[in-house]
Structure 1
Amino acid sequence: MGSQEVSTVDWEGKHVTVAGLGVSGIPAARALHERGAVVTVVNDGDDERARAQAAELEALGITVRLGDGATLPPSTQLVVTAPGWQPDKPLFLAAAEAGVDIWGDVELAWRLRGTNGRKAAPWLAVTGTNGKTTTVRMLASILEAAGLRTAAVGNIGVSLLDAVLGEREYDVLAVELSSYQLHWAPSLRAHSAAVLNLAPDHLDWHGSMEAYAADKGRIYEGNTVACVYNAADPATEDLVREADVEEGCRAIGFTLGTPGPSQLGVVDGILVDRAFVANRQKQAQELAEVSDVNPPAPHNIANALAAAALARAFGVEPAAVRDGLRNFRPDAHRIEHVVDIAEVAYVDDSKATNTHATEASLAAYDSIVWIAGGLAKGATFDELVTGAAKRLRGVVLMGADRALIHEALTRHAPEVPVVDLDRTDTGAMSEAVEQAARLARPGDTVLLAPACASMDMFTNYIKRGEAFADAVRARAEKSA
């Protein structure tokens, strides 16, 4: 299916099974029911929230089966799944055996765009192990600065279905896509797309790094204008080479160094474009200053370059790139400066839930007291510690798998003092901040960049970050 084509599926009487209630499942069930499909929703859980959601759908005439997400309902002609359901679930194995297609919420949104009488807006799509949300929000800010009607949607928390079927008409959408979503989106064809980076993550879901990378690479399939890759991460360029794109689609790199032809990069503190200029062999277009990027940490500058590349692929002028970056404000818990106390900066990067994100966070500061630990999700920490050892003033460890980080520190940074908090209660964060403050010296940064998931101690990374910020502010009040 070409990128500008709109699907015309006859939904009337089609038996569709929607796998999973929640952010994607409920809008999918509603949209399909409104188009005349016979919809059955299956869900593993059967708690109070699920029962309330089921009651709302059943009032519309939609069948809901709670506590039974494993069995394929009879007569199913299509399965539409929430992105998190693993491919080896019995429901999907049964569907495959019966020759029934499986779509994700992204695939459904792609197929339904333009079917409500509104223009099917092109998609500028972003994936990667880290930086997706920030890059997509930067991109939306740039597009808005260019006067375009747009929204940041997808894995960012705003339903793609709501965007493509809603009342508002868009010129272009900035779309964040996870590897889960891409796995179930076989016909997606973006205008342009970027893979920001690749590092081991979600391997329990995908089964191998190769499978994970292949799903990320699906974002390039059928691109019409630009496949944006990270020049510092050859695996992303490999995915471009392997992609089947439309004729004339270009490979566009981004780099923190001086860009070559068909790249965006940095020269003397200026973000420059040598890709979308008349003579890319000899010309470079200034886009913005590094100081326009907030915060100007190396990995965030890379995010800005990727966003700029996608915007430029869509024809956005340089001034809008600059203005969009200046207008952008990062989400909470992403290298968020909380406060300075006694000439020590306290920074919340609770969103750094894996080693790749934490590596980027540690690289942003010269002298660090690092607060880390939580659920490791199978990660190893030797490479992370080796790369950061010279920057570490001290380390405070907490959480269920802190011993794994401690062992890596013993092997690769034995001279760095380590405080090991043998507790996993939520109050441990206050003690972690106190211990970090004791280790810190004027000019240091106390950095919460856990390299681990949060669920051993907190509901999510947001609650963990809030606990850190609260503890830091409480200390600041005492010091005032």
Structure 2
Amino acid sequence: MAGRRVTVAGLGVSGRSAALALTRMGADVTVVDGGDSGTHREHADRLREQGVTARLGDAETLPEGTDLIVTSPGWKPQSPLFAAAGAADVPVWGDVELAWRLRGAAAGGSGTAAPWLAVTGTNGKTTTVQMLSAILRAAGLRAPAVGNIGTPLIDVVLDEQEPPDVLAVELSSYQLHWAPSLRAHSAAVLNLAPDHLDWHGTMEAYAADKGRIYEGNQVACVYNCADPATERLVREADVEEGCRAVGFTLGTPGPSELGVVDGILVDRAFVEDRHRQAQELAEVGDVTPAAPHNIANALAAAALARAYGVPPSAVRDGLRAFSPDAHRIAHVADVGGVAYVDDSKATNTHATQASLAAYESIVWIAGGLAKGATFDELVRTSAPRLRGAVLIGADRGLIREALSRHAPDVPVVDLARTDTEAMAAAVHEAARLARPGDTVLMAPACASMDMFVNYNARGDAFAEAVRELAADRAHDVE
């Protein structure tokens, strides 16, 4: 990289990480960003102290002399900066592409490149990668969860102090779009559903970018037997000789699959005779929470770990040690015989459908920013499970209309407010509708930014409202 004139697009975490790494390697780096807020200026000043040129307020003009662009994941392919790069025949790499090309460059280029076990999908990526990391660590490996999960890949692949043995890598469709050279040891696509179509343009383009994760796989392409689109991506991929397709299913697995038999997670892919043998890996009860979609996540993680040669005991121990992040189908409390569950991370219909499928009788709290989504299929398939619904947020009317069409007998409370205190009101209304044995499930199927800073803040508001409800009920008993 020494002597190259590199433009880094974006002042976010990955952009700053790339800029500093490239500068340390001797590149002449300019960071561009369309923002010019106090935070932008603060980040820019810190980069300038390290010898990076920073240009704020102009994200469209290609800096003179640029011979490479490294982009942050969220920048759309149609951005004027990339159009200018195309006209000047300047290549565009993403942060993942940069990390892949620089892997093993620690210790003056003598470092050994750790293999990548990669995960993508519309939903479940973060949980699966964290499970995978826990399983690999249970096998005694240094195996951080990295990528879209929050730790910049470039920092990890250049780490000279604690180089990893293997990487559990979460990759978004944005990152995969800009990573044409990536060749993973093994990879999984968990599921495919319409999402981010404003960025990709079409479902076909979105799926194609997800499918890039399989290109050049060495050992295993892991797919979801319940989602034919993921298997189709495997069939279309150009992989290394000997690489196998490995499915995961919530049912009894066939040869070259992982699945569930009598409450046991079993492997019929990485055994000596997969036509006659099955290896017990763990019990369903070892997975937290044991909701169907999370069991699927665990099977995908186990498949990738087994592809890397991890023993069955490590799968069991890793799953037992794993604890999911907050706001992912998290049990908050039981109040009056009713369970209150926070799945604020369910920001689209696909994730919410999986969440609703985990419970039998539900009072559903939903709503927010729909991001162009429609809710008819979600409501139609989930209607038999709904005891009631409480709607909040800017686009709640879209969900109300779907409920009126497909679940007209379900009581609906429409809270015509978008202030943050609406969550407390929603919890009280849900409590009024619920009966002992029900679950009050906050799985919004929408983004949070109409009312909250992010889905974490929304989940925190729900949990706080539930705790206040529990305290009020306890006081009434006294």
TM-score, normalised with respect to structure 1: 0.97
Name the CA distance, whole Å, in 2 between partners of 1:192 and 1:97.
35
2:78 corresponds to: 88
Q: For residue 285 of structure 2, what is the aligned residue in structure 1? A: 291
Deviation (angstroms), 1:138 = 0.2
1:31 shift after superposition: 0.7
Matched, 1:308 2:298: no
Check if 1:98 corresponds to 2:88. yes
Do structure 1's residue 406 and structure 2's residue 400 form an aligned pair? yes
Report what 1:140 is aligned to. Answer: 133
- C-alpha distance in 2, partners of 1:103/1:141? 30
Question: In the alignment, which residue of structure 2 is the partner of 1:436?
Answer: 430
1:78-130 alpha-carbon deviations (Å, 9 max, x no partner): 00000001110000011111111100000011111101123210000000000
Q: Secondary structure at the match of 1:147?
A: coil
User: Equivalent residue of 2:209, what SS?
Assistant: helix
| Partner residue, 1:38 | 28
Verify: 1:199 aligned to 2:193, yes or no. yes
- Structure 2 counterparts to residues 63-462 of structure 1, below 5 A: 63-117=53-107, 118-166=111-159, 167-462=161-456
Task: Please tell me the residue identity of whatever aligns with 1:434.
Answer: H
Say whether 1:62 aligns with 2:56. Answer: no
CA distance in 2: counterparts of 1:284 and 1:96, whole angstroms: 52
| Gap regions ≥5 residues in structure 1 | 1-10
Counterpart code for 1:101: P
How far off its partner does 1:162 sit? 1.1
1:430-479 CA distance string (max 9 Å, x none): 00000000000000000000000000000000000000000000110111
- Amino acid aligned to 1:308: A
Give the deviation of 1:346 after TM superposition: 0.2
Amino acid in the other structure paired with 1:319: S
Q: Name the amino acid aligned to 1:386.
A: R
Structure 2 distance, partners of 1:246, 1:225, is 8
* One-letter amino acid of the structure 2 residue matched with residue 116 of structure 1: A
SS of residue paired to 1:24:
helix
Q: Deviations over 1:178-219 (max 9, x none)?
A: 000000001000000000000000000000000000000000
Which residue of 2 is the match for residue 5 of structure 1?
A: none
Amino acid at match of 1:410: S
Deviating beyond 3 angstroms after TM superposition, the runs of 4 or more aligned structure 1 residues are: none
**Partner SS, residue 70 of structure 1:** coil
Tell me, yes or no, if the aligned pair for 1:16 and 1:40 is still in contact at 8 Å.
yes
Shift of 1:169: 1.3
**Which deviations, in whole Å up to 9, do the C-alpha atoms of 1:270-292 show, x marking residues without a partner?**
00000000100111000000000
2:41 to 33, 46, 51: 51
For residues 295-329 of structure 1, the C-alpha deviation after alignment (integer angstroms, 9 at most, x for no partner) is 00000000000000000000000000000000000
Q: Could you tell me how far apart the structure 1 residues matched to 2:131 and 2:26 are?
A: 38
- The answer on whether the counterparts of 1:119 and 1:170 sit within 8 Å (CA) in structure 2 is no
Percent identity of equivalent pairs: 76
Report the TM-score when normalising by structure 2: 0.98
> Matches of 1:116 and 1:308 in 2, distance apart?
30
1:12 positional shift: 1.8
Partners of 1:339 and 1:472 within 8 A in 2: yes
Q: CA deviation at 1:62?
A: 1.2
| Separation of aligned partners in 2, 1:397 and 1:333 | 18
